Structure 1
C-alpha cells in the first residue's frame, strides 16, 4: 500500500466503528505462497473479491502487486468482481491453491484459481456455459510497486508481456491468451488526492499526461477467454539475478505448464505439508503448518503476520521477525513434531542456525530483524545495542532472549553434530546475557513486556527465564563436553527464579501479579496512579499463563512443591476466568489480553478478545493438566476439559476462526476480525496444544508382565 491508496482508504473508513483508516487488511480472503518444502517465493493475498496483492517484501525483498482489481467484460458491460457476490472461497484441500467463485448479476458463476509458484503467481479464471462468441474478456487492473515505489516506475511492452520496473526489481505480467488491451494508467494527481471523495481506480488517461501512463506502475489489461478460460501470470524478479530474456522465458514456461486447474492442483499438492494420514485432527495441523509456512522466509525466520498497517498509523508494524514469537513458534513445532512425527527436522535446523547467526555480542538478541537476511530491522526496544554508557534495559525485552534459549536447549537432540556444537556455544553466551539481566532477588530486570506497551518486572518475563534456565539444565546429555558446566549453572539460576516468583504472589486475588512497577513506568494509565515503584500491579495478564509450561520444564530438574502447585492451579483458573469474555448477543467468546487493555478498541467498550490469549489459555491448562496428571491429581481432567473448550474456539470451525482457515490476532465483540491475519503465534499454539491433549488422552500402557520362571 502506497500513500495514494492509504489516503483513499482513509477517506472511505475515517469514521468506521471497526475498521482503522489507512490500513491494507487481510482479515478476509486467503493467502497463497511459500512453503518450506518448495523454496523461496512470494506471499500473495487473494481477497474475497479475487484481487491478488503481494505481502512478501519482508520475506523476499520484492514488492510486486500493491493493488489489483479483476472483472469480466461481456457485450461492452464491465463487471468488477468487487461489485459482485463472492459465493465461496476456500483452499483446495490442505494446499495453498485458493479457489474463489464469483456470481455475476445475471447468475453466471465465474471460478478463479490462484496459486503462487516461487516468484510467479498464477490466476486462472473459467466461465461456465459460455461459448467463445459470448465469452468476453477478463479485465485486470494491476498496480505494481517495484522496489516499493509508486513513482519513478516505467513500463516496457513486449510482444507477449508487460514489464514494470524502477531499479533492481522488474515485475512482469503475461496471459495465456494474450492481451487484447494492455496500457498504462496515470496515477491520481495532487488535486484529486486532496479531494474529499475517494479515488476510483483505474483512472482513465488524462489529457496532457500521456507520457505518465508509461511512467506508472498501474496497468490496465484485457485477456480474451478461449474455451471459456484464461490465465494471468505475474512474475517478480531481480534484474541482477534474472535478465529480461530469462524472465520472459520463465513466464512462457509457467503459462505452458500451469494454465489449467488440474495442473495447478497437482503443483499445489506437491508443495503441501505432509501430515500423517492417521493423525487425529490432521487437517488442523496441516492448516497450521500451511499458515506458518506462508509467513516463513528461506532462513527459517518468520514475520509475525502480514504487514497490514504499512504507515504504522495504528500499530508498530508486523512484517518483521520478533525472537519471542519466532522462538515460541519454533518450540511449539518442535514439541508437536516429537508427538506427531511431522518430519520438521529442516524447520528446526533452519531456526537454530538463524538464532545462532543473529545473536549479539552480549549474548542477547535484538528487538526485530528482517527475516529474509537476518539483519537488524527498525525497532524501539534496542537500548542494549547502544554503544557507550550504562545499558538501559527499560527499552529491552528480556523475554525474547529467554524464549530463544529455551528452544535451542530443547532442540539440541534434533541437530547435527556441527550445528549442535555451535548451538552449545550460543547457549553459553546466552546464559551470560540472561544472568546479566537477572537481579540479585532472582527476578529479571525492569524491561519492556511481551505486549510491548509497558515497563516493569513482569511475571511473564520471569516465567520465560524459569523455562529457559530449566531447559538448559535438562540438556546435560545433549551438550558437548565443552559446555558440560552449563546445566549445573542453569539449574542454580532456575532455583533462584522459582523461589523469587513468590514475591509476585497476590493472595487476595489468588494470582501472580502482572508486574512489579518500575521507577521508569510510563504507561500513562490513570488507574495505576495509586501504585508506587516496587508495588505489585495486580491485574490479570494472559502472558502470565506462561507460568504453566515453565513449571512443567522446571519439574524435570527441580521440585514443584505442593504449595506452588496449588498456587498455579489458583492462578491459571483465576486468570482464565477473569479474562474470559462472552459478549451478549454475540457468537464469539475467548480471552482478553489483560485487564484494562484498550488497544485497537475503536468504538468498543472494554477489552477485545485475542486469539493468542485464548490459545495460550488452552496451552496453559493442558500443561497444568500434565503436571497434575504426573502426580495422580484428580484436578488434571478439569484443566484438560478447560483446555479443550478454549482450544475449540480457535479451531477451524471455532468462533475465533471466522474464515475457517486463518486466525486473526483479535476480534471485536460482534465477531469482526481485526489486526494481523494470519498471526503465526496462535497457529503454533493450536498445534502444540493438540499434541499435549493427545498425550494426555493417550491410554496408559500397562507394564509387560514378567514371565514366571
Structure 2
C-alpha cells in the first residue's frame, strides 16, 4: 500500500480577500457536523462528495467551501455515517467508476486543523488529488500526492488554519488524534443522562450536535445551523454575510437551552442566558432579532417572543441575582411599553407583524415567570402580572375567529393584523406568494404555545377546534406545514427558494419535523402518550445517514433546507424527556398554577 501524506494549506491570516472570485456555499443538507469537545476553534461539515464548509475562527465565519478527494480528476458520491456513536467522528464511503474509498474525519483537539484519514482501492491504477476551495479568493488545488497512478493507498490529509498547523497535526498518528478527539465527547456524554424513550444513537448525536453549535470563543452563543440554505447561500444582496443560520437567534437558543437542561447540561443554559443578557439592547432592553456569535446585531426586527425568552429561561434556572434581575426587568418593561403590545413587529416565523397566539403565549408566560422571580426576592410584581392576566384573557378576542372559512369555530389564526379576527383583513404572506389573503384563512400550529407554556388548557374548546382545523389544512405525509400557503422552500420542480419580485416564482414550504415535537408535547397534556411517542419516532425517521435532523422534509426525506437544524435536534431531546416525565419538561409550573389550577 502506498502511504499518502496529503496537506491542504489554508493560511487564513495572510490570504487576501478577493471579492470578485467569492464562491457560494454548497447545498445546506449537511450529512455530518463535527468539532472537538473544547479545544481548537474549527468546525467541519460534510456534503455529498466530501468536506463542505469549514468554520474558523468562529461559528459565524465559514472559511472554506469544500475539500474533496478527486480520482482521475473526478469526485465520487459519498454515503456518510457516524464512525463512533458517541463522538462527532464521521466516516464517508466514496464510490466512483472502478474505485472506492473510505474517509474518516475528526478535528485535532490541540490545533486548528481538520484531519481526514483516507483508504483507497481501485480496479486499475488511478491518480489521486485533493481539490480545495476557500470561501473567499480563487479556487485552489493543493496536492503533494504521488503523481503516478496507484491502485491502493492509505494516508491522511489536513486542512490547516495557521502556519505549520497541518504539518504538526500530521506529525501525530491519525489514530492517536482520533482517540483523543473521541475521548472528549465520550467524557461529555458520560456526564449526562439519557431518557428511556429515545433512540440511543440519535439522542446522543442530537445532544452532541447541540453542544457543537456553541461557539468556543463566545460562550453561550449557539448558532441555528452550520448551513446556508437556498438564496441565503448565493444571494449576496439578501445575505451579505452568507445568511442568517450561522447566527444566534434568542428563540432557537431558548429551545436548545431547555433541551440541554433536560439532558443534564445546565451549564450550557446558564451560558446561553448570560449571552442573551449580554446582547440585550440598551437602553430599552429588547433582544435583537439575531446576532453574530460575538454579539453584533445583524437583523433588526423586533420579535416580542424573543424578548420574553430570557424571562422564561431565567425562571427555569432560578436566576435571581441582582444583576440578572435588573437586566430581566429591562426586557419585561420593554414588553409592557412596546406600542400596542402584545402586537409584535414579527411573530416567530419572522415575516409578519400582528397579534400572534404564539407570541402572546410567550409574553404572558415570560411576565409571569419574571414576576415569580421578583416575588421570591421580596419585590412587588403587580404590574407585570396585571398585564399578563389581561393579555391571557384577551388572546382569543385578538386572534380566534368566529367567521373564518374553516370549521369547527372559533379557531386561532396565525396572526391578525388589527386584533379583529372576525374581519376579513387581507395581507401578503411574502415568500413569493403573489396575492393577498384573508387573515381568517391562515392558520398555524404555533398556537400550541398557549398550551405548552401553561396559558390555556389542552382541552380548551378553542384549542381543540384549532387542532382539528390545523390538521385538516396543514397536515400532510404525517407532518405539518408551518402555516397556510407557506412559501419558504423549493419551487415545484425543486429549484431553491429566493426573493424574486416583482415577478415571483411560486415556492413551497415543506413539512417541519420540529412541529411534530410540539404536537407531541400537546398530546402528552391531552392524555395521549401513545401519539406523543409516535411523534418522537416520526422526528427520528427524518434523520439522514449521518443522523442529522433537517429543518424541512418531503416524501419522508430532508430537503435542501438547513441541516442539521439545532431547533429540530432540541425538540427531539425535549420530547424524549417529556415522554419519560409524562408532561412537557419545559412547561413553567408557575404559569400553570396561575391560569389552569
Q: Normalised by the shorter chain, which TM-score bucket?
A: 0.7 to 0.9
1:542 aligns with 2:445: yes
SS of the residue aligned with 1:45?
strand
1:94 aligns with 2:93: no
SS of the residue aligned with 2:489?
coil
Q: Give, in whole Å, the separation in 2 of the partners of 1:30 and 1:407.
A: 29
Give the structure 2 partner of residue 75 of structure 1. Answer: none
Give the structure 2 partner of residue 679 of structure 1. Answer: 565
SS of the residue aligned with 1:678?
coil
Tell me how far 1:406 sits from its aligned partner.
1.2
1:127 aligns with 2:120: yes
- Which residue among 250, 253, 263 is the counterpart of 2:168? 253
1:648 aligns with 2:568: no
TM (norm. structure 2) is 0.78
From the superposition, tell whether residues 68 and 691 of structure 1 become closer, same or farther in structure 2 (CA, over 3 Å).
same
Give the structure 1 partner of residue 395 of structure 2. Answer: 501
Contact preservation (8 Å) 1:140, 1:220? yes
Q: Give, in whole Å, the separation in 1 of the partners of 2:100 and 2:151.
A: 17
Correspondence list, 1:462-473, <5 A: 462-473=360-371
SS of the residue aligned with 1:405?
helix
Q: Give, in whole Å, the separation in 2 of the partners of 1:376 and 1:476.
A: 29
Q: Give, in whole Å, the separation in 1 of the partners of 2:174 and 2:401.
A: 64
- Which residue among 450, 467, 475 is the counterpart of 1:580? 475
Contact preservation (8 Å) 1:65, 1:143? yes
Correspondence list, 1:298-697, <5 A: 298=216, 299-308=219-228, 309-312=232-235, 317-334=244-261, 336-337=262-263, 342=264, 344-360=265-281, 361-371=283-293, 373-377=294-298, 379-381=299-301, 396-412=302-318, 420-437=321-338, 439=340, 444-475=342-373, 480-481=377-378, 484-486=379-381, 488-503=382-397, 504-507=399-402, 508-518=408-418, 523=429, 528=436, 531=438, 537-551=440-454, 554=455, 565-582=460-477, 589-603=478-492, 607-622=509-524, 624-625=525-526, 636-637=527-528, 640-651=529-540, 654=541, 656-659=542-545, 661-669=547-555, 671=557, 673-696=559-582
Q: Give, in whole Å, the separation in 1 of the partners of 2:279 and 2:174.
A: 42
SS of the residue aligned with 1:674?
coil
Contact preservation (8 Å) 1:102, 1:111? yes
For the pair shown, the structure with the greater C-alpha radius of gyration is 1
SS of the residue aligned with 1:657?
coil
Q: Give, in whole Å, the separation in 1 of the partners of 2:225 and 2:453.
A: 26
Q: Which moved more, 1:666-675 or 1:609-618?
A: 666-675
Contact preservation (8 Å) 2:492, 2:508? no
Contact preservation (8 Å) 1:352, 1:423? no
Task: Kindly indicate whether structure 1 or structure 2 has the higher relative contact order, using CA contacts under 8 Å at least 6 residues apart.
Answer: 2
Give the structure 2 partner of residue 115 of structure 1. Answer: 106
From the superposition, tell whether residues 45 and 327 of structure 1 become closer, same or farther in structure 2 (CA, over 3 Å).
same
Tell me how far 1:459 sits from its aligned partner.
1.4
Give the structure 2 partner of residue 269 of structure 1. Answer: 183
From the superposition, tell whether residues 5 and 253 of structure 1 become closer, same or farther in structure 2 (CA, over 3 Å).
closer
Tell me how far 1:367 sits from its aligned partner.
1.5
Give the structure 1 partner of residue 63 of structure 2. Answer: 64
Contact preservation (8 Å) 1:455, 1:522? no
Tell me how far 1:236 sits from its aligned partner.
1.4
Q: Give, in whole Å, the separation in 1 of the partners of 2:83 and 2:335.
A: 43
Q: Give, in whole Å, the separation in 2 of the partners of 1:355 and 1:123.
A: 36
Task: Describe the superposition over 1:446-492 as per-residue Cα deviations: whole angstroms up to 9, x where unpaired.
Answer: 42121112221111211111221232234357x545xx224x44333
TM (norm. structure 1) is 0.66
1:292 aligns with 2:210: yes
From the superposition, tell whether residues 135 and 670 of structure 1 become closer, same or farther in structure 2 (CA, over 3 Å).
same
Correspondence list, 1:65-80, <5 A: 65-72=64-71, 78=72, 80=74
SS of the residue aligned with 2:82?
strand
Question: How many residue pairs end up in the alignment?
Answer: 521
Q: Give, in whole Å, the separation in 2 of the partners of 1:670 and 1:466.
A: 36
